[in-house]
């Protein structure tokens, strides 16, 4: 039952990644066609546009959600692949603990970076 719930979350994370990555691709790479979230003229990576996005709490939330979904999806997928090699019970537990600790550590670092960027952009 637990594996079914984790697999459902894995698929849900894939949907979230597709939606948020599609939004990212639209904003950053289709600026000629769809010009959204770019208050200043010029490229999407011009300082004025980067600063405007960094000052938006919505973009900070989107970055944190995309980070969480990508970490869960990737680490759970890698865990599933490793479990198909049929390691022993102790090794399975070690893999799970290592991925949990690594995932939470990477999430904390990435979320801190997103929040710090948002806070620093407020003073610009």
pLDDT tens-digit series, residues 6-51: 999 999 999 999 999 998 888 888 877 777 777 777 788 888 888 8
Q: 23-58 b/e with 16+ CB inside 10 Å = b? A: eeeebeeebeeeeebbeeeeebeeeebbebbbbeee
> Which pLDDT score, from 0 to 100, does residue 40 have?
75
pTM of the model: 0.88
Q: Cα separation of 100 and 82, whole Å?
A: 15
At 64-113, the pLDDT tens digits run 999 999 999 999 999 999 999 999 999 999 999 999 999 999 999 999 99
**Roughly what angle, to the nearest 10 degrees, separates helices 47-54 and 89-122?**
110
Structural domains of the chain, ranges and CATH numbers in brackets = 2-122 (1.20.1300)
């Amino acid at each position: 039952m637990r594996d079914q719930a984790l697999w459902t979350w894995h698929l849900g994370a894939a949907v979230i990644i597709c939606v948020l990555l599609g939004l990212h691709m639209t904003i950053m790479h289709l600026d000629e066609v769809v010009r959204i979230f770019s208050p200043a003229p010029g490229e999407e990576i011009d300082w004025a546009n980067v600063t405007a996005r960094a000052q938006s709490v919505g973009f900070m939330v989107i970055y944190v959600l995309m980070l969480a979904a990508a970490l869960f999806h990737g680490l759970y997928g890698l865990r599933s692949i490793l479990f198909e090699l049929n390691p022993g019970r102790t090794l399975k537990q070690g893999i799970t603990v290592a991925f949990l600790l690594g995932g939470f550590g990477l999430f904390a670092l990435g979320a801190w970076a997103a929040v710090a960027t948002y806070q620093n952009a407020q003073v610009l």
